[in-house]
Amino acid sequence: MAADGAAVPLVVVRGVVNRFGTQVVHDGLDMAVERGEIFGIVGGSGSGKSVLLRTILGLQRPRAGSVAIEGRELTQLHGGELRAVKRTYGVTFQHGALISSLTVAENVELPLREACALGAVPLAGLAALKIGLVGLPGDAGPKYPAQLSGGMVKRAALARALALDPQLLFLDEPTSGLDPIAAAAFDELLLYLRRTLSLTVVMVTHDLDSIYRTCDRVGVIVDGRMISDTLAAIVDNPHPWIQEYFHGARGRAARRQ
């Protein structure tokens, strides 16, 4: 660990521009995520939350700007180096994106299988460990994704994201489509994992309850740029969309809790 590693934020996005045809999605967007925090990305539909996430993950090259994870410039990397960076973080997608022809246990084993040469017994053991870690029952392992409920799919996807013990986790709408009780349980799971594994979490979410419960800082995408601040400060930001978001009927209800 370099001594200056702690000073530089874990994820740094600088001046990212994304454009599709004439439609400008990001126009010089900046973002920084510190080690150990849970950072929430919010924004209206079509504001480019998913595009931003795809850009950070290296699935999409921005027209301009840079993305750095642990000080390594993603937009400059190719092939093997990029793959090495991709193994340092875990990702869950909005609909789980579990491989439907593999069981839950095989899904969790998949990244391990690709990354290292392990026998069947340690692979099964490590998969069972991660499945237990995210609070799935032991009999979930041999099931196929289609046999799981929505909440279990989200947990299984999280187990797969945690397969390579990443320090950094990206979650795309982790609580969407869950009932309030399951969503609250997922929030608690996230806080528990952050506490026990000292994770850094970047999550795209629409769930106000989840934001209030888990996020340390929030970045709001408005007009192609990001306004980020601590949760306590961002609710007082004068931008009309942010005011509407946090002080509309739903925002007030979530805040009261």
Partner 1 sequence: MYLESRTIDGGRELRASGAWRVSHADELARAVAEADIGSAPVTLDASGLEALDLTGAYFLHQLELRLAAAGVASTWRGARPETLAFTAGLIDAAPAGHHARPPAEPLGLLGRWTVQQGGAVREALEFLGRIQFVLASALVRPRRFRFQSVVRHVYETGIQAIPIVALIAFLISVIVAYIGAEELRQFGGEVYVVDLVTISVLRELGVLLTAIIVAGRSGSAFTAEIGVMRLNEEVDALRAMGVNVVEVLVLPRILGLMIALPLLAVIADAMGLAGGAVLAWLVLDIPFSQFMARMQEAIATTTFWAGLLKAPVFAFVIAMIGTFRGLQVRESSRELGRLTTVAVVESIFMVLFVDAVFAVIYWETDF
- Looking at the Cβ atoms of 106 and 172, the one nearer to partner 1 is 106
- The CA distance from 54 to 38, in Å, is 18
- Looking at the Cβ atoms of 7 and 146, the one nearer to partner 1 is 146
| Shortest spacing between CB 132 and partner 1, in angstroms | 4
- The CA distance from 218 to 212, in Å, is 10
Residues 74-133 that bind partner 1 (CB under 8 A): 87, 100-101, 112, 115-119, 122, 124-126, 128-133
- The CA distance from 96 to 160, in Å, is 10
- Out of 5, 36, 46, 142, the only residue in the binding site for partner 1 (CB under 8 A) is 142
| Shortest spacing between CB 131 and partner 1, in angstroms | 7
Q: What are phi and psi of 216, to 5 degrees?
A: -85, -45
Residues that bind partner 1 (rule: CB under 8 A) add up to a total of 31
Beta carbons within 10 angstroms of residue 112's beta carbon: 19
Confirm or reject binding of residue 36 to partner 1 (CB under 8 A).
Answer: no
Beta carbons within 10 angstroms of residue 154's beta carbon: 28
- Out of 9, 40, 141, 251, the only residue in the binding site for partner 1 (CB under 8 A) is 141
What residue spans of 37-100 are helical by DSSP H? 49-56, 79-86
Please give the DSSP secondary-structure letter assigned to residue 4: G
Binding-site string for partner 1 from residue 171 to residue 210, where x marks contact by CB under 8 A and - marks none:
-------------------------xx-------------
Confirm or reject binding of residue 144 to partner 1 (CB under 8 A).
Answer: yes
Distances (CA, A) of 39 to 6, 55, 199, 200: 17, 16, 11, 8
Q: Report yes or no: 29 and 47 within 8 Å, Cβ to Cβ.
A: no
- Out of 73, 81, 114, 165, the only residue in the binding site for partner 1 (CB under 8 A) is 165
Q: Report yes or no: 156 and 102 within 8 Å, Cβ to Cβ.
A: no
Q: What are phi and psi of 115, to 5 degrees?
A: -85, -35
Q: Which helix (H) or strand (E) segment is 227 a member of?
A: strand 225-230
| Shortest spacing between CB 99 and partner 1, in angstroms | 8
| Shortest spacing between CB 40 and partner 1, in angstroms | 25
List the beta bridge partners of residue 227: 220
| Shortest spacing between CB 60 and partner 1, in angstroms | 23
| Shortest spacing between CB 119 and partner 1, in angstroms | 7
- Looking at the Cβ atoms of 40 and 135, the one nearer to partner 1 is 135
- Looking at the Cβ atoms of 133 and 220, the one nearer to partner 1 is 133
Q: Which two tokens stand for residue 121?
A: 């017994």
Residues near partner 1 (CB under 8 A): 87, 100-101, 112, 115-119, 122, 124-126, 128-133, 137-138, 141-142, 144-146, 162, 164-165, 196-197
